[in-house]
Amino acid sequence: MQRIRLRYTKRGRLRFTSHRDFQRAFERALRRAEVPMAYSAGFTPHPKVSYANAAPTGTGSEAEYLEIALTSARDPEQLRTLLDASLPAGLDVIDAVEARTPGLADRLTASVWELRLDGVDPAGARRAVDAFNGAPAVEVQRRTKNGVRTFDARSAVVSLESVPTQDAQADRPSDRPCAILRLVVRHVTPAVRPDDVLSGLRAVADLAPPVPVAVTRLAQGLLDEETGTVTDPLAPDREAGAKEPQTAPATAAATAPA
- Rounded CA-CA distance 214/16 in Å is 11
pLDDT at 255: 45
Query: Measured in whole angstroms, how far is the alpha carbon of residue 20 from the centre of its chain?
Result: 15
**Same structural domain, 97 and 132:** no
49 to 6, 7, 26, 192: CA distances (angstroms): 11, 13, 10, 26
pLDDT at 169: 62
Tally of structural domains, the chain: 2
Q: Is residue 133 part of a domain?
A: yes
3-state secondary structure of 124: helix
pLDDT at 133: 97
Task: Look up the CATH number of the domain holding residue 49.
Answer: 3.30.70.580
> Whose CA is closest to 207, among 136, 127, 134, 152?
127
**Same structural domain, 48 and 21:** yes
Which of 88, 105, 122 delimits the end of a domain? 105
Query: For residue 133, what are the domain limits?
Result: 110-221
Contact (CB, 8 A) for 11 and 171? yes
For every one of its 258 residues, what pLDDT tens digit does the chain have, with 9 covering 90 and above?
Answer: 899 999 999 999 999 999 999 999 999 999 999 999 999 988 888 999 999 999 999 999 999 999 999 999 999 999 999 999 999 999 999 999 999 999 999 999 999 999 999 999 999 999 999 999 999 999 999 887 888 889 999 999 999 999 987 666 655 555 667 899 999 999 998 899 999 999 999 999 999 999 999 999 999 999 999 999 999 999 999 999 888 765 544 434 444 444
pLDDT at 258: 43
> Whose CA is closest to 169, among 125, 215, 234?
215
Sign of the dihedral through C-alpha 18, 201, 188, 149: negative
**Same structural domain, 54 and 115:** no
**Same structural domain, 200 and 215:** yes
pLDDT at 41: 87
**Same structural domain, 115 and 217:** yes
**Same structural domain, 79 and 117:** no
pLDDT at 172: 52
